[in-house]
Structure 1
Amino acid sequence: MTDRLLPDAEGLSRAADLLRAGRLVAFGTETVYGLGADATDPMAVARIFEAKNRPHFNPLISHFASADAAFRHVVETPQARLLADRFWPGPLTLVLPRRADGAICDLTAAGLQTAAVRVPAQDMALALLRAVNRPVAAPSANPSGGVSPSDADHVMDGLNGRIDAILDTGPCAVGVESTILDLSGDTPRLLRPGGVTAEEIEAVIGSVIRPVPGTQPDPADAPIIAPGMLTSHYAPGLPVRLDARSVEPDEALLAFGEPLPGAKVMWNLSESGRLDEAASRLFAGLRYLDREGTRMGCQRIAVQPVPGEGLGLAIRDRLGRAAAPRPALQERDVA
C-alpha cells in the first residue's frame, strides 16, 4: 500500500527520508503532482519508469529548492539567469547543458548532455526539496499516457501500491504542466507550452522558436526533449550489435543475466536478470564498454537479448537507437 502523508513536519520528514533512501514519493507542486525520486540515483530513477509503466526513457525534469541549487548541476547562461530571476519559483522548466561536476545521473537525463531543471512555486514542495538537499526527478505522478494528477486522490487512483508515499498538499493551483524552454542551442526553443506563456518569456529574453501546432509532445506523458527522438541516438563510438547469441573475438559484451563466454571486456546490466537494475546500469555500461572496448582494440559492442516487457521495452528502445545507422556523428551529441 502507498502511505498518504500529511503536509506537516512529520509527513515532510518521512517523505524526505524515503527520497534519500531511493524510494518513490509523489508530491504536489503548483502545476501537477510529481512522482519524485533522487535524480542522482539511477536505481531510484528506474523505479519511476517502472511505476508509471513509462515506455521510453524520456528525460525527466529535476526539481530544486532554488536557482543557485539548480545551477550547480547545469550551466548557467545569461538568459537562464534572467529567466530564473523572473519566473522561479514557478512553472518554467529550462533545458541547459549538464555541468561536468553535476550529480544528475544519466538515466534522469536519458543519456543526453542536457538536463531539464526547475524550481516549483509551492511552499511544501520547496520545503521537501530543501530537506532532501538533492535534485529530485519528478514527472507527472500518473500511469504513462494518463491524465496528469492535480490532487492526491488522482495519484492514489493511478499509482496506489506502486509507489511508497504521497505527500498530500491539496489541489494544485495551476493544474497544467510547466513550460519547457530549451536554452542549450543558439536560439531559445519552446518545447512545451505551459504555465508561463511564450509572450512572457519573450518579454525577458527576446524571440523564441515556437513549436508548430500539433507537433509538440503530449504533455500527459511528461516532457520529451526532441533530440532524444532521433533514430540514431544514445550511441557510443563503437557500433552496437543487438540480440547477440555469441561473442566475436573483436567484440565487447553488454550482458544480461548469464554472460556469453569469450568477451575481452564485459559489463553486465543485471546478473540476476532484473530489469530495474538493468535500466539503472544501461547508460553507464555503454560508456564503459565504449571506453574500455576501444582501449582493448574491440570493433563492436555485442548486446545479449533483453526481454521486451515492462522496463525491457525502454531498454530495447535505447539499445535500438544506439545500434541504428548514424548519418552524422554530430547529430548524436546535439541535445
Structure 2
Amino acid sequence: MRAKKKSKKKKILLTILSIIGIFVIAAGAYVYYLYHNVEKAADDMYKPIEEESKSETKKRQETIDQKEPISILLMGVDEREGDVGRSDTLIAMTLNPSKEKMQMISIPRDTKTEIVGNGTVNKINAAYAFGGVKMAKDTVEAFTGVPMDYYIQVNMEALSALVDAVGGITVQNNLDWIDEGYYKKGYHYQKGTLQLDGPKALGFVRMRHLDPNGDFGRNERQREVINGIINKAMSVTSVTHFNDILNALGQNVKTNITFDQMMDIQKSYRNVRNNIEQYEVKGQGTPPGQTYYLNVSEEEKAKVNKMLTDNLSK
C-alpha cells in the first residue's frame, strides 16, 4: 500500500514537473520569438546614411561601448501621396548616461539657414525635401555646430500607430481648441490633462494655426507626445502591445542605429529619461506680408551650441 502511494505521488510529481517544463519551454520559445521580432523590426528600420564610412560606424560603436554621451537627430517627416515630404519636426537630442540626462532641443521648421549641399538659404525643413536625410543632417549640424551621431526618421502617420500600440498616452494641454480646420476631425482638445488615442494624438501634434504661439506651440505639443510614448512604452507588458509597437516601428521608422546598438542603448542609457531637458530655439519672425522665416541670432545659435556641447561632455 505504501509502495502504491509512493508510486502515485511520483506520478503526480512527474506530471507537475512535466507541466512546469512545458511552460518553461513555451516561455523560452516566446522569448526567442519576441527577440526575433525585435531584431526583424530593427532590420526593417535600419537605413545607413549615404556615404557613411566604416570608420565613422566603428567610432560610433566605440562611443556606445564606452557608455559615452551620444547625439541623435529626430526628424518627424510629413510624407503624403505625390509629395517628397518635409521634416516638419526637427529635434536635436543628446543622451548622457553618466549625468542621467536627456536633452531635446526643437528647431522650428521655419528657421532661416543655409541648406548645406544645396547652396541656398531657406527654411530648415526644406533640407529634407532637397536632399533627404543626409542634407537634413548636414544642415542641422551646420546650424548647431554639433555633429549628430545618429538619426531617427519618423513618418508623422506613425505617431498615430505608436500611440495606439502602447494603449494611448497622457499629455498636458495648455490650449483649448476644436479641430475644425484642415483635418476637420471635430476633436475637442480641452485644456488640462488629456488621454489621447492615435488619431487624436496626430491632430494634437499637427495643429498650429489656432495656436497663438504658432510653430512654437506645436513643437511643445510634439515633445509632449514623444515623452508620452516613451513613458508608456517603458511600462508596456502586454504581448499584443509589443507586437503592435514593433509593427508600427518597422513600417514607419528609419534609422542608422543597428539592432545591437539599440540593445546597448536600451541597457546603458535608459536612465536618461529620469531627467529630461527641453528647449525651443528662439528667433525673430519676418514682418507681416513677407514670406515667413524665423531669423535666429548668432547669440542664440551659440547658446544652443553650448547647451548641446555641455550635455555631450563627460
TM-score (normalizing by structure 2)? 0.26
Structure with a larger share of its residues in strand: 2
Larger radius of gyration: 2
Structure number with higher relative contact order (C-alpha < 8 Å, ≥ 6 residues apart): 2
Structure with a larger share of its residues in helix: 2
TM-score (normalizing by structure 1)? 0.25
